[in-house]
Amino acid sequence: MLKKFLTHFFIAVILSVILSLVYLKLPTSYLVIDNKLRDFMFLFRGEMEGGKDVVIVDIDERSLKELGQMPWSRDKFAQMLINMTNAGVGIIGFDIVFPEYDASSPLKVAREYGLPTENLPDFDAIFAEVVANTPTLLGYVFNLEDNTSNSEAYPQIPAIFIEKNRDDSSYMFEPKGIILNIPNLQEGSYSSGFFNMVPDDDGVVRNVPLVMRYENMIFPSLSFEMLRIASSQSKVYINYNDIGVESVDLGELNIPTDRYGRIFVNFRGGKFSYKYISALDIYNNEFDPKDIEGKFILIGTSAAGLLDLRAMPFDSAIPGVEIHANIIDNILKGDLLSKPAWADGLNLLSIPIITIFLSLMLAFAGTMLSIAIIATFGFGLSYYLYYMLFSEGVVLSILFPLVAFVVSFISSTFVNYFLESRQKDRIKAKFSSKVSPGVMEDILKDLDSDVLAGKEREITVFFSDVRNFTNISEAMGNPKNLIEFMNAFMDPMTDIIIKKEGTIDKFMGDAIMAYWNAPQDVKNHADKALSATLEQLHEVRNLNIRLREDARFQPVVEMSDRLGKPILDIGIGLNSGVAIVGEMGSSTRADYTVIGDPINLGARLESLCKFYNSKCNISNFTKELLKDEYIFRFLDLVTVKGKSEPIEIWQVYDYADTKKFEFPLYTLPLEKLEEELDSYHKAIKLYKEANFKDALKIFTEIEAWKEKSNNAVYKMYIERCEHYIEAPPVDFNGVFVHTTKG
């Protein structure tokens, strides 16, 4: 046991060290797998309804069809802003950048062609004025790949960004260029924010930067800036720890981020999780003001041709504007996801905990228990990771705990298999010639257990013997055919015993010794033993038919026909009681067997089958344990050789349920047999009361019947009654003394 424990523990420690090193050194490409597993958790959680405070004004296919393809003239956007402002909108953010002047503006067209410009409208100026006088924030784009820019200016953000505990390291994204709106539009806006998204390596958006550093200045994202303005906060605190950005404080609101200043998006669902209003309806002022009153409005597009579709856990093509809606909703509701500084430490700690704990649990578990442990542990681990993600909002590694789980299971399985194979080889080498298969299985459960030591158990012992075996062996002549004949008998008899959960102790020529309830517990062992007995008696009848058709056994067939007896006939004795069970023999040769008075009595009961003309004798000890219903005949109250205490001997005909087998073992009609046994047991009662004359009368009457089931018993009791009438016994107790074994 200790050796097995130490082996599993040592291997688990080695695996923990290896997996921990892999976790620390593995390239970030493994995060693709980890992210996919987390995506599955989102899918398992299912979609949720988006918040009512965020609404998307959608430049959809319908809007493009009616108002023309993008880019639209700026007066259309101006009209949309005016209509929303008049309806009491809270704040508006553009998930669109306007980097070029409106080519459709009449003033611009006239100037290009040298035409008079007096009184011609300037759509850009109109749009800039509306933006300046409405709660509108513009969007812009950082260039993360190269230094391409369309302006040397910077977005003007009316806020102070304070970095706390920052060292010289740079963790935020630092763009190389910027694409701003045209100057009069950008300068006229109260504020603006970038709407960049940085997909993971697999192209899926799972987190979005809240802030970026450009030219050593901090700039907010569009969604974050909308929240800042809505909350009337002028200061933003960016908190650092040893590994980078930890969180962003907006007033009393603490927004956890990853080390790069990105927020993990707690996606509500696929596309259209939030309310969408067509831009056409906004332009035509055909919407319900209640839908936008006091709300966060994001203007973006779902049209495929405008190329703003993104992949996320729930959807492979969601409008990018809806991802910004998720961020605003997450922050407003406070159900944020984060990867705190201690998450990596917990991820690292979980590897040895899972590996060592699971390995040691599986070290001493059997197959069924191992399945239960794996199922329970797997469910518990999955639930823990799910709970931490969605209830606590903590993003932990999913891949490595699962890898530790799988590796522990596989390694424990192989270690157990290796150790058990060695155990079995040792056991088989030692006990292959000593014990039955049932005992072998018991030993294999634990090599170090004292399973072979002698112990007391209540058992039911079985003895069977072939009648007239000497005649059979003489008639067969050919030893090979005799062995085949006995194998033809022993095979089905053995199968029946094993099927009924019995343990075969030994074969003794033509006899079989078996027992029930050792080494394994057998429920209702007396019934199992008797059931095996009756099945054997039925099988012998069928076997006689098959043997008669086999040419090899014709000498025995002819002998049995000549003697007027069946080819095969057996007697079986059953007894139940407490016996000694264990390994017995010498130091060089031993056997796992049973000894004690119950075994001796079982053997005597089998030998008395011939005396009482019975095929199955059982003791009262066995009869008292039976649960099923059978047809019994009381045979005698006797003391056998070597015993002083009397026992009852009962003959069992068959099951009381006539449907158990196609044909019953008894030959009389059931009603006739029951009538006979009823009269017989009345005579037995009189006999036990020493009323020999009345008992003799009934015995004689039954003996005279033309059809009866056991004539030898009646002759025996008639002789006894006549003897006791002539020489009345003193203090008669009904006990007959057998002075021989049978």
Closest CA to 409 of 372, 446, 447: 372
Residue 42's contacts (CB-CB under 8 Å, 6 or more residues apart) are: 267, 313, 314
When mean pLDDT is compared across 84-88, 105-109, 513-517, 724-728, the lowest value belongs to 105-109
**Confidence band of 6 (pLDDT split at 50, 70, 90):** confident
What residue ranges define each of the domains in the chain, with the CATH number in brackets?
2-28+342-426 (no CATH), 48-154+175-230+264-333 (no CATH), 437-628 (3.30.70.1230)
Is the pLDDT at 434 greater than 50? The verdict is: no
Is the pLDDT at 438 greater than 60? The verdict is: no
What is this structure's pTM? Answer: 0.59
Average pLDDT over residues 519-546: 93
Provide the token pair at 217: 């200045």
Is the pLDDT at 537 greater than 50? The verdict is: yes
3-state secondary structure of 331: helix
Q: What percent of the chain lies above the pLDDT cut of 90?
A: 56
At residue 13, the pLDDT reads 84
Q: How far apart are CA 232 and CA 162, in angstroms?
A: 17
Burial of 370-396, coded b for 16+ CB within 10 Å and e otherwise, reads beebbeebeeebbeebeebbbeebbbb
Average pLDDT over residues 209-216: 94
Helix (H) or strand (E) holding 504: strand 503-508
At residue 17, the pLDDT reads 86
Residue 173 near residue 209 (C-beta atoms within 8 A): yes
Q: What is the per-residue pLDDT across 336-346, written as a single tens digit (0 to 9) for each? A: 998 887 888 88
Q: What is the per-residue pLDDT across 640-669, written as a single tens digit (0 to 9) for each? A: 766 678 999 999 999 998 788 888 998 899
Burial of 183-221, coded b for 16+ CB within 10 Å and e otherwise, reads ebbbebbbbbbbbbbeebeeebbbbbbbbbbbeeebbbb
DSSP for residue 89: B
Other Cβ atoms less than 10 A from the Cβ of 70: the count is: 13
Provide the token pair at 519: 């080494």
Is the pLDDT at 417 greater than 70? The verdict is: no
At residue 413, the pLDDT reads 75
Burial of 316-332, coded b for 16+ CB within 10 Å and e otherwise, reads eebbbbbbbbbbbbbbb
Residue 620 near residue 572 (C-beta atoms within 8 A): no
**Confidence band of 679 (pLDDT split at 50, 70, 90):** very high
In the Cβ-directed half-sphere of 715, how many Cα atoms lie within 13 Å?
Answer: 8
**Confidence band of 432 (pLDDT split at 50, 70, 90):** very low
Q: What is the per-residue pLDDT across 556-615, written as a single tens digit (0 to 9) for each? A: 988 888 888 889 999 999 999 999 988 776 656 667 789 999 999 999 999 999 999 999
At residue 79, the pLDDT reads 96
Helix (H) or strand (E) holding 162: strand 160-164
**Confidence band of 452 (pLDDT split at 50, 70, 90):** low
When mean pLDDT is compared across 43-57, 154-168, 309-323, 409-423, the lowest value belongs to 409-423
Of the segments 10-19, 106-115, 549-558, 603-612, which one has the largest average pLDDT value?
603-612
Tokens 């789980």 sit on residue: 405
Better-predicted residue by pLDDT, 411 or 48 = 48
Residue 690 near residue 732 (C-beta atoms within 8 A): yes
Closest CA to 396 of 409, 387, 408, 406: 387
Q: What is the per-residue pLDDT across 478-529, written as a single tens digit (0 to 9) for each? A: 888 888 999 999 999 999 998 998 988 888 888 999 999 988 889 999 999 9
At residue 435, the pLDDT reads 44
pLDDT, mean over the chain: 88
Is the pLDDT at 681 greater than 80? The verdict is: yes
Task: Return the bridge partners of 46, or none.
Answer: none
Q: How far apart are CA 539 and CA 576, in angstroms?
A: 24
Q: What percent of the chain lies above the pLDDT cut of 70?
A: 92
Closest CA to 278 of 310, 315, 319, 222: 319
Other Cβ atoms less than 10 A from the Cβ of 741: the count is: 13
Is the pLDDT at 304 greater than 90? The verdict is: no
| Alpha carbon 555 to chain centroid, angstroms | 60
Is the pLDDT at 433 greater than 50? The verdict is: no
Angle between helices 31-45 and 367-390 (to 10 degrees): 80
Burial of 655-691, coded b for 16+ CB within 10 Å and e otherwise, reads beeeeeeeebbeebeeeebeebbeebeebbebbeeee
